[in-house]
Each structure stands twice: as structure tokens, then as C-alpha cells.
Structure 1
Amino acid sequence: MVVRTGLGEPRGPWFVSPGPVPDGGWPRGRPSGDGPQRPRGGWPGRTLAAAAAVVALSTASGAVAGGWVAGLDDPVGPPAASAAPVPAELVTAAERTVPGVVSVLVGAGRGRSATGSGFAVDDQQHIITNDHILARGTGGAVTVELPDGRRLPAEVVGREPRSDLAVLRVPPSAGLAPLPLARPGATRVGEPVLAVGSPLGLPGTVTAGIVSALDRQVRLGDNRHTAVQTDASINPGNSGGPLVNARGEVVGVNTAIATIDGNGSIGIGFAIPIEQVQQTADTIIGRGG
């Protein structure tokens, strides 16, 4: 029998589907930390297995079939059709964003550790990230890995667990390029976005998608949030990284994804909207310097 768990298991705080279950309660996902995960067991039922197979097949078969048809009759012939061209503005946005994005490592070497991402927001070298990364690192030392590979100790300026945001600061020698923030209320459904971060410990990873929905009501952990939904691929380690538009402006902080049985991104990710990010970060920086 297939057991329904809302939209699946998050990588980040617990995600709970906003839809009610028959008993009037809320379906819960299961907790899971950021960073590489050990593969889990099989699907809980044949229905999910079949769905996974269909998804995998539909994703891969286009490329396989396309290559096979292109070479059927003419060994030279025209070149095989390539993927749709990437808009030039997204390439430019990626080039501008990556230098300001870092990997965040907490508690490495002692007790439980956690990894995630973060990004610089000003010339004072303040870095925004997710609070749940610090929480899962059990209060250990915080280290930031820069785009050039250097690792520097980071000061925790302040934390706001209810909004799942935290602000770090690294020494001026880091030289991080601050990312511009989008204007409040400017994000639109359907516009292209990039998720930038360190999924599975791979720094500087960029994935593309669109804004799937705005004002999505979700529960993350014990708190209700209004989130930006995106289909840009987000995986463990992306938490705390920026979701940016085609102009390279941050529209949200990647926080959680929905999965089926904990098996990676299924194209449903959630980011804290920039309005909340800016308000919380300004408050934390104002308090902590």
C-alpha cells in the first residue's frame, strides 16, 4: 500500500504539503539534513516505482531517441539537434552570481556537521544563509569556502529561526562580490531563474528553471511560510544559496525541496522571498553590526 506523505521528503527543514489529508490534519514529510545523503531503500509501493520509471524514462528518452534518429540513414548527415539554447542573459547572470556565492560548513570534525550555501549582500562581507544549517551543525565552528577555494572562519552575526535565516560575516580579505537584491514585488510567475550553491558539496553549481508560483503557503519545520516555488533543480547543500533572476538579482533564498521517498529533486523547490530576506537580514545586521 502506498503511504502518502504530502509532497514528499524535504532537503532542508521539514516540508508539509498545504493540502489537508482526509482526517483534517496536515501530512508531514520526514526530516533530513543538508549535505550528501546515504541512498535509501526502495519505493514504498509499486505505484511510486512506476511513476519514478515514467519520469526517468520521459527525461532520458528524448535525448536517446533524438541521437538515434539523427544517425539512422546518414553516417555524416546533419548534426543532431541540441538542447534549446540558453538565453544569453542567464549566462551573464550566472557569471555575475557565482563569485558572490559560498559554501557554508558547520561543526566539521566534531559532533554532527552540516553543509549548505550562502551569498554576500554588502561590501562589509555579510553573508546570508539558512538558519537550519547552523542548527544542524550543533553549534560548531562555522567555516566558509570561497569561490577560489580558500576557507575562512565566519562569525555568526545573528540568527532568526522563525524565518530560517542567518547572517554570517567573514574577514575583508575574502573580497566577495555582493549580489544585488530584486525589488520587492517585482518577481513574476514564469520568469527564468537560476539556483546557485553547493549541492552535494559541488561548489559553484548553477541550475536553471522558472518561478513556478508565488505566495505558496507551506509549513517548514514548525513554522508557516510564504514561499517562492521554482522548478530549478535544488538538492542537499543548496540550502541558503540564492535564487536569482535573469538580471542576476536575488529573488529568494533556497530553503527546501519536496521529494518522493527522499530521492532527490523532483522540480518542486521553495525559496524564502526577497522581501522577507531583506527585512530579516537588515534587522539582524542592525542588531549585530
Structure 2
Amino acid sequence: MTPDMQDSTQPGSGAAGAWYPPRPEYQPGAAGQDPAVPEPRRRARRPVALLVAVAIASGVVGGGTAALIGGATHSTAAAAPVAGAPVSAKSGGSVAAVAAAVGPSVVEITADSGDGQSIGSGVILTADGTILTNNHVVAGADNVKIALSDGRTATANVVATDPSKDLAVIKANGVSGLKAAQLGSSAGLAVGDPVVAIGSPEGLSGTVTSGVVSALNRDVTVPVEDGSGNSDSNGNGNGNGSDRWPFGFGGHQYNGQLGGDTTTYKAIQTDASLNPGNSGGALLNMSGQVIGVNSAMYAPSGSSGSAASGSASGSIGLGFAIPVDTVKAFLDAHHIAYNR
């Protein structure tokens, strides 16, 4: 069955729920959290699964996610950045080689708004700080900050978005000599191809997971993030913690109606572990080329925790990424440079 997934970014409390990234509420001492709006309203459990957007959102009252993960700090990648040089892992083709080569090209993104904070990932496109991410990571943000693999931080501005594709580009300020990733092609992908995912799940920057392409051309349907936390005219997922984000799967809708403002895109399905915070990170082939942008994960119906409690379940090996050929069309339309 081809799942009509919802792009999720918000954690929820009930049985099933789609989460878009921004606005969960952090509680000190909570172990990690799924991406969600602040404290979703509890609903009766249903025997369905939920699609969770892989960005972390925290409420105004909680603080950052990284602080909740046992005092975790930004990790330093094994390979030191080389000024302006595109990266690839042409030698070896191992997970370790890909991680060492591309790790410095993936950043952690923190986006603050009046509703809270969203934490996601991004892929460096140019040496002077052009960075690719998901729209749901930065939508509605008043302030955006990036953290590089070597520990440096910088502010950033949103320069291009396409909510219908859940893609965005930001530009970091005052940086140079960054290591730009190389964008490959998703056209030749086959089920079973090995892949590597790099991002900042739960605020743990530089996390590497691996797996295979599980399926191609999966339909993922999600609410269009308008920057205010509203997912539809009915108020579902309105960013104030009163509800969970609705989503569509298998011709059905859960956690309320999707409303009129939705978008569906074809996605790469992978069993590489994706968790809240991976949104906007890189899905790579064994040559170290970006073949997709991680955007959503599918979680079981037993997930009942809110973003504040961090008790919602994590990855079960059903992750989704936006194909890089879709990404390149978006970048070309906005005249944004990248390594081909």
C-alpha cells in the first residue's frame, strides 16, 4: 500500500498524529522529544500509525532540546572543514568514509519564533553559507541560527521557501570557507541501494545512521506550514498546544481534518533511522552525494507522549526524504548555486 503521509513536524499526545516541526514545549529532565507543537491535546487512541515530521519543536517555556539530552553539546565532525571544497566519499564507499567526508557539510539549525523554538538540520550548498533545509524547520521564524560541525555558530536569514515542496534555503551571516556538499541525482536510485543519513536528531548534531532505500515514489501528504503554526482553517495544529497535526494515510485522515491547505510530494522511503531534529538533513549515497533531504518519519500508534514529555516513540525504520532532483528544481528556480 502506498502511504499518503503527512509531513509532520509536531509531536502529539494521542494515539496517532502527524507532527510538523515547530513549537513543542520542553520540560527539564525530559529525555528527548518528538517534533510538535506545544503540549498537544490528548485524544482517544486509535489503531493507526502516525507520520512525524523530523524537526524538534520546543515551547517558549522549556529551553533548547540539546540541553535536555544529558547536557549534550555540538559535536565536532571527524574531518576538519576544507575551505570551499566540495566533499565526496569516492574512496572506500563505507559509512565511515561518507560520514567523515560529508559530516562537516551538515549543520544544526535553531529557529525561534513567538510560539517557541524549532530545531532541525541543514545541508551546506556554498562555501559562503548558503544552506538547504525543510520549510517546516524555519517557517515563521523571527531568528535563525546555525551551528557548524566545528562548533562555530552564526545567525542566518531565510532567502527562499517553497511550502508546497517543504523546502527552504537560508544564508548564514559572516561565514566563509565552509565545506559544500555535492548534490547527486535521485533518478537512478533503486530499492535496496545503501544510504547514509546525517543530521541533528534530538539536538545531537553530527549523528550518522545508515540503511537502504526501502521504496521510491511514496506519496507524503501534509499540511502546508504557513509560518504561524496553523495547519488548516479548522484550527488543527494551531501552535498553541491545543491540538495535534492532522495527516493523511491510505486514503484516511487522522487527528482531525487535513483542511484545504495540504501538499503531497513523492518521497524516498528509507530504513535509516530518522528522529526529531533530522528534518532538513542529508540522505546520502555511498559516494557521499546528497540524494535526498530528510523530512518525515512514520511512528507507531502507541506514541502517546507530547513534545513536552518527550515520551513519544522514535524511529521504527520508516523514514522519508524529498528526492534531490526535486530539490535541484527548486534551487534552479530560485537561481541558487550548488555543487552538481
Residue 245 (structure 1) shift? 0.7
Match of 1:23 in 2: none
CA distance in 2, matches of 1:220, 1:111: 20
1:200–1:236 CA contact under 8 A, matched in 2: yes
Deviations 1:26-54 (A, max 9, x none): xx84335367427999x948x89xxxxxx
Match of 1:181 in 2: 183
State the SS of the aligned residue for 1:116.
strand
Aligned-partner residue type, residue 267 of structure 1: G
Match of 2:270 in 1: 230
Identity %: 37
Distance 1:265 1:182, change over 3 A: same
Match of 2:112 in 1: 107
Q: 1:93 and 2:103 equivalent? A: no
1:9–1:258 CA contact under 8 A, matched in 2: no
2:283 corresponds, among 239, 243, 252, to 243
Number of corresponding residues: 227
Residue 266 (structure 1) shift? 1.0
Match of 1:24 in 2: none
Aligned-partner residue type, residue 18 of structure 2: R
Q: Which protein shows a greater Rg?
A: 1
Residue 141 (structure 1) shift? 0.7
Structure 2 residue runs of 5 or longer lacking an equivalent are 25-31, 49-91, 224-261, 304-312
Match of 2:157 in 1: 155
Residue 150 (structure 1) shift? 1.4
Residue 176 (structure 1) shift? 2.0
Structure 1 length as normaliser, TM-score? 0.70
2:7–2:221 CA contact under 8 A, matched in 1: no
State the SS of the aligned residue for 2:326.
helix
Deviations 1:118-160 (A, max 9, x none): 011223421000000112xx32111011111111011211111
1:13–1:256 CA contact under 8 A, matched in 2: no
Comparing 235-244 with 90-99, greater Cα deviation is found at 90-99
1:7–1:258 CA contact under 8 A, matched in 2: no
Aligned-partner residue type, residue 168 of structure 2: A
Deviations 1:160-188 (A, max 9, x none): 11100000112463432111111341222
Larger RCO of the pair (alpha carbons < 8 Å, separation 6+): 2
Moved over 4 A (4+): 6-11, 38-41
State the SS of the aligned residue for 1:33.
coil
**Structure (1/2) with the larger helix percentage:** 1
Aligned-partner residue type, residue 266 of structure 2: T
RMSD (CA atoms): 3.0
Structure 1 residue runs of 5 or longer lacking an equivalent are 1-5, 15-27, 49-86
Residue 218 (structure 1) shift? 2.1
